[in-house]
Amino acid sequence: MNTHYAERVQRCFLTSARMDAACTGHVTTSRTRLMLFTAEGVILAAVRSATLTIEAIREQVWNAMIRWMRTQSVLADSSLIQRHGMCAVVDGILGVRSEMMGALLTCPGILEILVSGTPAGQNPAAPDMACHEGLWMLAPVGAALDAQAAFSAGQSVCALICPKSEGAVAGGVYAAALSMRIRTASSLEASIETAIRIGRSRGLSADLADRLAGSGDLGTSDRCYTDILTSGFSLARAACASTPETAWQVLSGSVQHPEAAMVAAQLVGTDLWGMAAADIPADDTNLDPLIRELARDVAERYERNFRDL
């Protein structure tokens, strides 16, 4: 991997750790934030100026990231690195180059690679409950595809993680709702309504449809896709009914349901990492100029993507 790119990856790790220490109310784990800022660093430094094939992404970005994390003891468990790392890197790449999504989804085995970090059939830690790595993939899916196609792709991604077919269908609903929000700037309720209608035509149960629509009981656990999405849609409604400042409090206060808060944040266009980057003091002399440039770029891109949604 080019030394110039590797240095930026490392600096993004260090900066995200500083942000993590300063923003203790954030709803995500430090591990996830480290992954996402690493992805952003690679994207801003390399993808914008170069064409990377899938194999180049795996060999250059993925392997370099694992090596560096192990040397810094950021993650000691290689299975966790596999499950979170590849997804975050490719998620970040697709956030900048959404036109890659169509090509990626047609590559044999690519969904398995994105979700698990390992080729199909070689993931020894195949989770029996849903985690947020699959949910991260759905934002670029929604940005790249129309609602119908986003539903199919989202369902496919979630089916790789969630053992229950209902959970996979719920993932499709979420991806379709994101597509409506990001691509057509539809209101939250209109987006959810359209996504549920698509879901009902593809196997979504009446009970889960009611829960996602806000007329049924919330779930009882934040470790199941159906409960994550039910709670996330509910949080999104609460955030949309608030001022931006209050919306942030609604999301950051949901520490018992971090994945649900992430779902809500994406639906309402309140990107936590973009906000964290934008909040860096202009006179912070301890911040490397390169990191300031990357952070501002991240914040500005998110602002463009989600403005007025």
CATH fold of 4-307: ADP-ribosylglycohydrolase fold (1.10.4080)
> Of the candidates 188, 248, 260, which has an alpha carbon nearest to the alpha carbon of residue 220?
260
Both structure tokens of 14: 């260090």
Position 158 confidence tier, pLDDT thresholds 50, 70, 90: confident
Degrees, nearest 5: CA angle 152-155-157:
110
pLDDT of residue 87: 43
> Of the candidates 95, 97, 61, which has an alpha carbon nearest to the alpha carbon of residue 81?
61
Cβ atoms of residues 230 and 219 within 8 Å:
yes
- Model confidence pLDDT, tens digit, residues 196-221: 999 999 999 999 999 999 876 655 55
Cβ atoms of residues 118 and 152 within 8 Å:
no
- Model confidence pLDDT, tens digit, residues 27-76: 334 444 444 444 444 443 443 344 445 455 445 545 544 554 454 444 43
**Distance of alpha carbon 182 from alpha carbon 174, whole angstroms:** 12
pLDDT of residue 197: 96
Amino acid code (one letter) for 124: P
Question: How crowded is residue 108: how many other Cβ atoms within 10 Å of its Cβ?
Answer: 9
- Model confidence pLDDT, tens digit, residues 89-146: 444 444 433 444 444 444 444 455 444 443 333 333 333 333 445 565 676 567 667 8
Whole-prediction pTM: 0.58
**Distance of alpha carbon 169 from alpha carbon 208, whole angstroms:** 10
Both structure tokens of 85: 């790392």
Percent of the chain whose predicted confidence (pLDDT) is above 70 = 30
